[in-house]
Structure 1
């Protein structure tokens, strides 16, 4: 009984937050779909899903996510080999640089590709601006790091002896890869593909900034139905469909990830050290260099565009960030929006760390009996649910449910950081759980036998082991919160916009100054995110395990 009460005590606060700020909004969203006029009407959902435009939106989402996933796999596979199996100089730095695009704000990625492909950009002659090609390129840019990290970690753990035996029997390098390496990597490839497809299908900011209203994914259609057409039942119906599909993809990803982790555990201690590159590795190294250059191109175009005013080098766009908007587009200067983003990200980070730390402690303590194990497994699954629901759906749900009585929080300054903390929570939990689970429980028992209380045991046993992953989780939670746009687009107040919201408003209105300010703001936001990610990378904590 005492252990059960302690378990519930640890989980009480996270469960309360999850119930009020996640389960209630999602339930409200489902209710708007099935009870559009106060009466149960499942036909309303069927009517929305039968619309020709909805069919076009679904098909566009599926095929763009599929093409982007295939391209990310093809581009990421050589880099995964080069950066995880070869002893290349500066490979740690390159791995960190390849990770930066993944945590860049989606709005920044969209603006960068508009600058690269748009009028006056280096690739303007290709005519790809505002086309599905631009959207696919943006999705690949954003997600190729998932393939490099996920597949690279599995490749790094492979036992080299089966491949060496095949080579000794006369197999060529291509045959060794096809018959030995590729089958061993299949769980990691399947897991990476499912996660990348999930991220591509829910790539809200990239599709909205590059496709506008001409090309819509499910996420952008939900946003447009809510903000432009005020068709809340239709938006709820699409959110419900997306919820079912995304949760299914998460289950597939979790199953393939467990298979991949099992392979890694079986082969622990037998993995080969990185080897010096040979001439036959030149294609993979060259493709990795080209991938790095391709990822740098949009960011380079963004930086150059922010510094060019009327054909001359100037900081005019940056100086304009500190001045009020001349056309009344923004209620505050963009510099104030940046400060709002930083404050909001700090609040979201400590919230995510507090909740994620409690969850990780709850699910990693040794269970006594099958019932306790089931309770802990259920709690672990519950707190992964925010990863299975898009930020757009969460923001939409918060908007339509927290609007009356004691839960009238739509004007609360804490609503945006709470929503961002929920988005970052699964990342924090999945970063901390493997580390805490690896601590021998006998150390805690020894501390308790010497008179240490539960808090003292955590400070003396757990904290020395977990401080690096804790800093890494804080860094990634901060970076994710700094650039979060899906939920914030619904919840940010006009007098307190965050930086991504301000950038989106600037690029959505004509005027050279507005566009130039959007470029400058995007550069500052990208730089802040990159600094955080590169600092976290130096901690050498595997972050992709969260996915």
Structure 2
């Protein structure tokens, strides 16, 4: 009888675990998208779809969006190749620092990356005369996304059994041929998965294109914002949002083709890595120099330009002193405090909802587990501008007190961070021995007590890492928040964007100084995360 009662309780608990995350996704994700679909239907009754597509040049925008995303992905693959080799094959002192350097660009606010590349291309690389346009965008996208390729492919390479490659070399194959014939084919699924994710992120890029495009480059993402906010042409913005959703869903489905269930393990990584000595330090040093040139140099130039805004100007701390001066009614320091508070609250929400979803997926099998994986992944790739536009429509129809709730922005930020929490928590839960759970249950522990006394202590480090990444992702969110921000709810990334849109060297210096502050906070958070994170493969 007691066993039957525990079975019923466990079943009800699993149902509740599914209901809470499902309600959160329904309210904060499906509702805004549903509002967009409804507006699309209403727009269709007034004007034909063809007319809206023609007026907005939607097909041209779609073609260019896909083109720049594809080129950005190929460039990121080339740029990341030496970093993949370092992470997967080389064991050097300071590997934690290398991981932090590779990871920081991915979690930096896109608006900060735009500011950094503007400082780089207007400063040391001014002779190239490419301060705005397509090339800066491609370079910034590669900078942003090398972490995805380095961590996903690097973890997959590190988990491969090296004996097959060694056998090929024993039979007479050189190192290059052994890599091309044996190692590379086994890495192709990981390369495909990483490339698909990078393509998805580049096709929905917003902050980088807004800052570096200089109004000359238009994609679906930027045009949605322009039509909705600048011109308030709702039918046109809705139609472009629907087209963007189709692109995102197609990219997500393509990503799933390469994703292997269960993720990648790193159990054999120690056997495939070597400590360099003698001449082996030559390629290792070259790869480290490449990392410094590609990932450290843009941020170093940003720091330099924050204290010397003009190429031939004087050294000054005016930008940092201006952090306490008003920009559009709020100071950067006030925005920083607000950003830290909302990011912390978003982290708590993302951990709570993400952990519940992860437990439900861990306890589910078959279709339920697969559906949970798809649903919790979609917010990671959905267009932030499309989502923000959906929120704008929904909040306009709600009472003022609800629309102005201080929980709106943290919940939006949490929605974007939940997929990361799930992707960290599910493998951590799977690593807990079922025998320990069974022993605790046999001794009379309830499912809740089993989780608190067995699972939670063993996955605590993973949850801390997931919380850290949720915090930095929420801190840097720009696309959706830019639709929702008011004078008293302006996050620091949104304020940086506002400062860049205002003329004058003082505003540029303020934007750069604020960007340096965000880089410092992000780097500190990533360092803490990497220090506590269990070494169990890629995060993504």
- The question of a shared fold, defined as TM-score above 0.5 by the shorter chain, is answered with yes
Poorly superposed stretches of 4+, deviation over 4 Å: 267-271, 405-408, 542-546
**1:345 aligned partner:** 343
Residue 491 (structure 1) aligned to one of 484, 492, 499:
484
Residue 245 (structure 2) aligned to one of 243, 246, 253:
243
Instruction: Report the aligned-residue RMSD.
Output: 2.2
State yes or no: 1:178 paired with 2:180.
yes
Residue 384 (structure 1) aligned to one of 355, 377, 395:
377
Which runs of 5 or more structure 2 residues have no equivalent in the other structure? 1-7
Q: 2: CA distance between counterparts of 1:137 and 1:319?
A: 31
Q: For the structure 1 residues 324 and 524, does the alpha-carbon distance in structure 2 shift closer, same or farther, using more than 3 Å as the test? A: same
C-alpha deviation, 1:284, in angstroms: 5.6
Q: Secondary structure at the match of 2:405?
A: coil
Q: For the structure 1 residues 476 and 256, does the alpha-carbon distance in structure 2 shift closer, same or farther, using more than 3 Å as the test? A: same
State yes or no: 1:25 paired with 2:32.
yes
State yes or no: 1:88 paired with 2:87.
no
State yes or no: 1:294 paired with 2:290.
no
State yes or no: 1:441 paired with 2:445.
no
**2:80 aligned partner:** 76
Residue 220 (structure 1) aligned to one of 219, 222, 228:
222
Which runs of 5 or more structure 1 residues have no equivalent in the other structure? none
1:277-316 correspondence runs (5 A) = 277=276, 279=279, 282-283=282-283, 285-308=285-308, 311-316=313-318
1:58-137 correspondence runs (5 A) = 58-118=62-122, 121-137=123-139
**2:52 aligned partner:** 48
* Contact persistence 2:88–2:269 (CA under 8 A): no
More displaced 10-residue stretch of structure 1: 341-350 or 63-72 = 63-72
**2:23 aligned partner:** 16
* Contact persistence 1:78–1:285 (CA under 8 A): no
C-alpha deviation, 1:458, in angstroms: 1.2
* Contact persistence 2:18–2:356 (CA under 8 A): yes
Q: Secondary structure at the match of 1:213?
A: coil
Q: 2: CA distance between counterparts of 1:259 and 1:430?
A: 11
Per-residue CA distance 1:412-443 (angstroms, 9 max, x = gap): 22111110000101111111011112223332
Q: 1: CA distance between counterparts of 2:333 and 2:359?
A: 39
Q: For the structure 1 residues 268 and 300, does the alpha-carbon distance in structure 2 shift closer, same or farther, using more than 3 Å as the test? A: closer
* Contact persistence 1:317–1:513 (CA under 8 A): yes
Q: 2: CA distance between counterparts of 1:99 and 1:351?
A: 23
Q: Secondary structure at the match of 2:324?
A: coil
Q: Secondary structure at the match of 2:479?
A: coil
Per-residue CA distance 1:137-176 (angstroms, 9 max, x = gap): 1100100111111111111111111211221222222211
* Contact persistence 1:476–1:536 (CA under 8 A): yes
Per-residue CA distance 1:328-373 (angstroms, 9 max, x = gap): xx111111111111111011111101101111111112x5xxxx64
* Contact persistence 2:10–2:447 (CA under 8 A): no
Q: For the structure 1 residues 183 and 492, does the alpha-carbon distance in structure 2 shift closer, same or farther, using more than 3 Å as the test? A: same
Q: 1: CA distance between counterparts of 2:14 and 2:298?
A: 48
* Contact persistence 2:56–2:236 (CA under 8 A): no
Q: 1: CA distance between counterparts of 2:454 and 2:338?
A: 37
Residue 515 (structure 1) aligned to one of 508, 512, 518:
508
C-alpha deviation, 1:404, in angstroms: 2.6
Q: 1: CA distance between counterparts of 2:207 and 2:25?
A: 25
* Contact persistence 1:159–1:271 (CA under 8 A): no
Q: For the structure 1 residues 61 and 238, does the alpha-carbon distance in structure 2 shift closer, same or farther, using more than 3 Å as the test? A: same
C-alpha deviation, 1:51, in angstroms: 4.5
Residue 356 (structure 2) aligned to one of 352, 355, 358:
358
C-alpha deviation, 1:271, in angstroms: 6.9
Q: Secondary structure at the match of 1:181?
A: helix
* Contact persistence 1:86–1:274 (CA under 8 A): yes
Q: For the structure 1 residues 196 and 285, does the alpha-carbon distance in structure 2 shift closer, same or farther, using more than 3 Å as the test? A: farther
Q: 2: CA distance between counterparts of 1:506 and 1:309?
A: 14
C-alpha deviation, 1:276, in angstroms: 2.6
C-alpha deviation, 1:2, in angstroms: 4.4
Q: TM-score, normalised by structure 1?
A: 0.92
* Contact persistence 2:101–2:295 (CA under 8 A): no
* Contact persistence 1:88–1:276 (CA under 8 A): yes
C-alpha deviation, 1:543, in angstroms: 8.8
* Contact persistence 1:309–1:316 (CA under 8 A): no
State yes or no: 1:274 paired with 2:281.
no
Residue-pair matches, total: 530
More displaced 10-residue stretch of structure 1: 131-140 or 280-289 = 280-289
C-alpha deviation, 1:285, in angstroms: 4.4
**2:463 aligned partner:** 470
Q: Secondary structure at the match of 2:131?
A: coil
